[in-house]
Amino acid sequence: MSIDKNTNEGKNYRNNVVKSTSGTSKSRINTGFPEDISVLSPMMKEYVKTKEEYSDCILFYRLGDFYEMFFEDALTASRELEITLTGKDCGLEERAPMCGVPFHAAETYINRLIEKGYKVAICEQVEDPKKAKGLVKREVVRIVTPGTTLDTMSLDESKNNYLMSIVSIGEHFGCAIADITTGDCFLTELDKPQKLLDEINKFTPAEIICNDAFLLSGVDVADLKGRLGICVFALDPWYFDDQLCQKTLKEHFHVGNLEGLGIGDYDSGIIASGALFLYLKETQKTALSHMASIRPYSAEKYMLIDSSSRRNLELVETMREKQKRGSLLWVLDKTKTAMGARTLRSYVEQPLIDAEEIEKRLGALEELNAKPMDRDEIREYLNPIYDLERLISRISYKSANPRDLVSFASSLEMLPYIKQILAEFNSPLLTQINEDMDPLSDITALIRNSIADDPPLAQKDGGIIREGYNEDVDKFRRSRTDGKKWLSELEARERDRTGIKSLKIKYNRVFGYSLEVTNTFRDLVPEDYIRKQTLTNAERYITQELKDLEDLILGAEDKLYALEFELFSDIRDQVGAEVVRIQRTAKAVAALDVFASLALVAQRNNFVRPKINETGLIDIRNGRHPVVEQMIENDMFIPNDTYLDNHKKRISIITGPNMAGKSTYMRQTALIVLMAQIGSFVPADSANIGVVDRIFTRVGASDDLASGQSTFMVEMTEVANILRNATSRSLLILDEIGRGTSTFDGLSIAWAVIEHISNTKLCGAKTLFATHYHELTELEGKLSGVNNYCIAVKEKGDDIVFLRKIVKGGADKSYGIQVAKLAGVPDSVIQRAKELVEELSDADITAAVKDLTAPKKKQKITYDQLDMAQMSLFDTVQDNDIIEEIKNLEIGNLTPMEALNILYNLQNKIKNRW
Ligand SMILES: Nc1ncnc2c1ncn2[C@@H]1O[C@H](COP(=O)(O)OP(=O)(O)OP(=O)(O)O)[C@@H](O)[C@H]1O
């Protein structure tokens, strides 16, 4: 299903709620309904009415042990799910198309449909109070969409399943994000499409609901679907009505005003949140009591990592295989609980920028590693703890079964032990965790006293309630067991009376209890036996006495099961009422799990606690790549130093042959900085890390053929984004900028980029720049802050040996042909390449380099052109501050490259103001 179709259907979503339903006959045609529904059977009439109300959903219509789909839905479902299509006689001459899925397997089928972008409305049988007892009607009990699925089988427990609501108002975006499986909910506001995109990339929601304006805001919606698999539904405008949104939030959170929730200042954020809750109420049809709080969230509190850098650094999954193994998270995640895994993932995706907060996390790790026995004991107690967050959500949804409650209690029973150990810890975060961790002993006691130790899975099968909890339950149970005794007494008596040795009392769901007589003894059957059922080898009978006994026994059983279910529901509601305490405790457990995991990983891998500074110094001694070192056997990873500061060592130009380890080295630096800001120890002998506000990377070729962009276009788009957004507090990792085009253009672009970055007025970010353009080493000494490094190799005859060690100075050769030889390129080709390299003079390149650094007056034409560019910029601009900047630009005093850079930046600035 395409985005357009989704969004168009989304617009009509539940249009009957607010709009007039003038489209009734249209929707009949759309869904393949007959024009005249009066000819339909009563059940089909009921179906058609429901379908009209939920016209944008596939309707799963409960009939007995199946969910059935009809008409257009049946055609879609049979096509998408590859299930058999049959026909249903519904009072028409023609049969209506129909298909169905078994009730017990429905979750899987629903999930497959929503993965493809459909919404599914689940229509269940419910008792109709207006009709006679036992008669049912059907109603839609829930709508399932990608962001609202509760399917435990398909959801990744180590990842949040977010629903994101976006409202685009003028230049601004209001944004609310919720995970209904955990109750997590927060809101924010953003002022640029790029910032919004960064947040979408960070949280990768399963579903976005939005207003129409968002679709026109410049965000590439098709790309969100194609690249990130996000379903986007545009909702009717009424969802975003300011007053309605405020009212919805006040009602949901039971507050008189929104200031009380701490979100009063967020105008568009409130609208996005209001729309989100309206949507949830429409689809979930439950009180959502587990969504007990909403918090403001500020992207500025975290390190900004754009989407391509997230991919390049392989933070939570690898670039190619899209799997966790091989990512940073894979190294760091030794958590014991699902909550801990989700929290760690969010830490990795959102490194901190507040030095004090980072130190607090590092302090917690340090203390845990100072007491390794306690740390490991804590991890033992964490091990059996279930996903409390998702359990409490299921309790609120009333979908938790008796076994879930027992698991819940056994999880809570671990808490006092953990608290006891934590009481001995002093670091601020661990103390805080201990305070937040409520042992919840009252809830454990409630569950343990009421629910049996090993209750059945099905809630209506009895055996849920513990002996001694409720007098009536015990009484019904006794009469049931006594009843069994009465039955066997009756059986023995009848055997004696009739002389039928094989006589047995049997039970069957339809016919109840009966006396079974095999055909051999049929002649001995007495007159007072009434025949009930004929089997192949036997007959079944009933007597008045057996009938009376059956009424007594089955009556007790029915009453017992009903009472047990009632009591269980009540206990589940009592647990659900404690949602706030439980969620706070779950958060504390998750954080503790993360710290214990990070501490253990640090100890096992010889990581060290980094020093954190705010002066901008990055000084890493013997740093290692956290992931590559795991992949290389026998501790063969060669460590390297990194030194960057805000003064003379801002930009490192790194040369060296292919395969030498340039990319590994640069990524390792970025990852060490990032790990430190997560609050993790780092793979190095020592590290002093100046907090960075953003990490940008441009690494390797990441073709984006799907979006129709060439490799070079993707590269330049990323470079443009980096240059526009990097600050003097950022860290840039630039790998072979310009290699995707001709040598001249590539070298010139790389050169200009370094000039731009080294200019502290324009950028000034700390940068690692790997390149095969040896000409760039000319820049050392000419541009402030630029230093050359290379990765050492040793020549051994015709071959090279990689030393993997970074040393001061530039490499003089590229050794491309030697690396090609190593890779197994045929000897004849290697030989020919050697000849060619000798023949090809690199004079052109050298001349070009000379041109770029040549005295300015020799380039008169260029200066004329630059003057014209300055004038034309001046003519287009309206902002006074930019006018001043253009006026003050003394082009004659700059190199052409510098002048071009400044004009380019001014042009961008003007564009951004538009
Ligand atoms: N410090 C190191 N110690 C041990 N092995 C290393 C080290 N650095 C890199 N390697 C190994 O060398 C391989 C090549 O490294 P890398 O991709 O970083 O080289 P490169 O110089 O960027 O190459 P190219 O210029 O072709 O992109 C890595 O896959 C890794 O296995």
Task: Answer yes or no: is the ipTM higher than 0.85.
Answer: yes
pLDDT of residue 105: 86
Residue of 632, 652, 659 best suited for mutating to test ligand 1, as the one with most atoms within 8 Å of CB? 659
Comparison of pLDDT for 369 and 796, the residue scoring more = 369
- 627-642 in b/e burial notation, b at 16+ Cβ within 10 A? bbbbeeeeeebbbbbb
Q: Whose CA is nearest to atom 28 of ligand 1?
A: 661
Where residue 906 falls among pLDDT bands split at 50, 70, 90? confident
Instruction: Compute, in angstroms, the gap from residue 803 CA to the centroid of ligand 1.
Output: 10
Reported as a single tens digit per residue, the pLDDT across 643-684 is 999 989 999 999 988 888 999 999 999 999 999 999 999 999
pLDDT at residue 152, rounded to an integer: 67
What is the reported pLDDT for 349? 94
Report pLDDT digits (tens) over 805-816: 898 887 766 666
Helix extents (H) in 116-255: 193-203, 212-215, 221-228, 242-253
How many A from CA of 753 to the centre of ligand 1? 24
From the candidate CATH numbers 1.10.8.60, 3.30.420.110, 3.50.50.60, 3.40.50.620, the one assigned to the domain spanning 163-301: 3.30.420.110
Tally of CB atoms within 10 A around 403: 16
**Quick check: 380 and 336 in contact, CB under 8 A?**
no
**Binding site membership of 660 for ligand 1 (Cβ less than 6 Å):** yes
Residue 632 beta carbon below 6 angstroms from any ligand 1 atom: yes
Does residue 174's CB lie within 6 angstroms of at least one atom of ligand 1?
no
* Of 75-79, 325-329, 905-909, the least confident: 905-909
Please identify, by atom number, the ligand 1 atom nearest to the C-alpha of residue 640.
1
Check whether 908 has a pLDDT greater than 70: no
**CB 148, CB 163: distance < 8 Å:** yes
Give the DSSP letter of residue 153. T
Residue by residue, what is the 3-state secondary structure of 299-341?
Answer: HHHECEECHHHHHHCCCCCCCCCCCCCCCHHHHHCCCCCHHHH
Can you identify the CATH homologous superfamily of domain 3-144? DNA repair protein MutS, domain I (3.40.1170.10)
> Cα angle at 515 between 510 and 521, to 5 degrees?
130
Quick: pLDDT tens for 358-368.
Answer: 999 999 999 99
Residue 518: phi and psi, rounded to 5, are -70, 155
The sign of the torsion formed by the CA atoms of 36, 42, 46, 51 equals negative
Q: Cβ(111) to ligand 1 under 6 A?
A: no
Over residues 891-909, mean pLDDT: 73
What pLDDT does 627 receive? 96
817-855 per-position pLDDT tens digit: 677 777 677 777 777 767 766 665 444 445 545 555 554
Pocket test for ligand 1, best of 632, 641, 663 (most atoms within 8 A of CB): 663
Cα(657) to centroid(ligand 1), Å = 10
- Secondary structure percentages of the chain, helix, strand, coil, to 5: 50, 20, 30
814 Cβ below 6 A of ligand 1: no
Atom 4 in ligand 1: residue holding the nearest Cα: 637
Known binding-site positions: 656-663
* SS3 label, residue 194: helix
pLDDT of residue 7: 38
Pick the atom of ligand 1 nearest to 631's CA. 31
Token pair in block for residue 279:
């949507």
638-647 pLDDT, tens digit each: 999 999 999 8
Q: How many Å lie between the centroid of ligand 1 and the Cα of residue 198?
A: 29
In this structure, the residue with its CA closest to atom 16 of ligand 1 is: 661
The set of residues, in sequence order, having a beta carbon less than 8 Å from that of 528 and lying 6+ positions away, is: 543, 544
In sign, the C-alpha dihedral spanning 359, 360, 366, 367 is positive
Please give the full DSSP string across 814-837, using - where no structure is assigned. --HHHHHHHTT--HHHHHHHHHHH
Q: Which run of H or of E encompasses 141?
A: strand 136-144
Confidence (pLDDT) at 132: 56
- Between these two residues, 764 and 30, which has the higher pLDDT value? 764
Distance 627 CA to ligand 1 centre (A): 12
User: Cβ(654) to ligand 1 under 6 A?
Assistant: no
- Is 637's C-beta closer than 6 angstroms to any atom of ligand 1? yes
* Ligand 1 mean position, distance from CA 20 (Å): 65
Query: Residue 487: CB partners within 8 Å, gap ≥ 6?
Result: 505, 513, 549, 553
Q: What is the pLDDT of residue 836?
A: 66
Most confident range (mean pLDDT) of 88-97, 309-318, 683-692, 869-878 is 683-692
Digit-coded pLDDT (tens) for 564-623: 999 999 999 999 999 999 999 999 999 999 999 999 999 999 999 999 999 999 999 999
Verify whether ligand 1 is closer than 6 Å to residue 804 (CB atom): yes
Give CA–CA dist 272/267, Å, rounded: 9
The pLDDT score that the predictor gives to residue 482 is: 84
The binding site for ATP consists of 656-663
DSSP class of 259: G
Q: Name the residue with the closest Cα to ligand 1, atom 10.
A: 661
Q: Is 631 in the pocket of ligand 1 (CB under 6 A)?
A: no
Q: What's the gap in Å between 601 CA and the centre of ligand 1?
A: 24
In the block, which residue shows the tokens 């939005």?
A: 210
Give the number of the atom of ligand 1 that is nearest the alpha carbon of residue 660. 21
DSSP 608: B
pLDDT digits (tens, 9 = 90+) for 288-338: 999 999 999 998 899 999 888 888 999 999 988 889 999 999 999 999 999
Question: 733 has which bridge partners?
Answer: 697, 768
Query: Crossing angle for the helix pair 544-576 and 388-396, nearest 10 degrees?
Result: 120
Burial letters for 167-195: b for 16+ Cβ neighbours within 10 Å, e otherwise? bbbeebbbbbbbbbbbbbbbbbbbeebeb
The third-level CATH classification (topology) of the domain covering 611-835 is Rossmann fold (3.40.50)
For residues 310 and 201, the answer to whether their CB atoms sit within 8 Å is yes
C-beta of 709 in contact with ligand 1 (< 6 A): no
Distance between CA atoms of residues 787 and 650, nearest Å: 8
Cα-to-centroid distance, 176 and ligand 1 (Å)? 42
d(CA 806, CA 790): 6
Quickly state the pLDDT bin for 737 (edges 50, 70, 90): confident
- Asked whether residue 61 carries a pLDDT value surpassing 90, the answer given is yes
Q: What is the pLDDT of residue 572?
A: 95
Judge: domain 333-435+578-604, CATH 1.10.3720.10.
no
Locate 722 and state its tokens.
């980096």
**Residue 16 pLDDT level (bands cut at 50, 70, 90):** very low
What six digits make up the tokens of 434?
Answer: 């201990």
Structural element, H or E, at residue 792: strand 786-796
Instruction: Decide if pLDDT at 497 tops 80.
Output: yes
Per-residue confidence (pLDDT) for residue 411, from 0 to 100: 96
User: Residue 438's CB: how many other CB atoms inside 10 A?
Assistant: 18
Ligand 1 centroid distance, CA of 827 (Å): 24
User: Which of 664, 668, 733, 793 has the most ligand 1 atoms within 8 A of CB, as the residue to mutate?
Assistant: 664
Q: What is the mean pLDDT of residues 91-112?
A: 83
Report the candidate in 74, 182, 11, 22 with the shortest Cα–Cα distance to residue 584: 182
Nearest residue CA, atom 9 of ligand 1?
661
Cβ atoms of residues 423 and 180 within 8 Å = no
DSSP labels for 760-781? TTT---EEEEE-S-GGGGGGBT
Task: Give the pair of three-digit tokens for residue 877.
Answer: 């601009």
- The pLDDT value given to residue 247: 95
Residue bearing the CA closest to ligand 1, atom 24: 658
Q: How confident is the model at residue 171 (pLDDT cuts 50, 70, 90)?
A: confident
Dist. CA 386 → ligand 1 center (Å): 41
Q: Is the CB of 686 under 6 A from ligand 1?
A: no
Fold of 471-572: MutS, DNA mismatch repair protein; Chain A, domain 3 (1.10.1420)
Residue nearest to atom 11 of ligand 1 (CA): 661
664 lines ligand 1 (CB under 6 A): yes
Cα separation, 226 vs 223, in Å, equals 5
Taking the CB of residue 678, how many other CB atoms lie within 10 A of it?
25
Cβ–Cβ under 8 Å, residues 239 and 279: yes
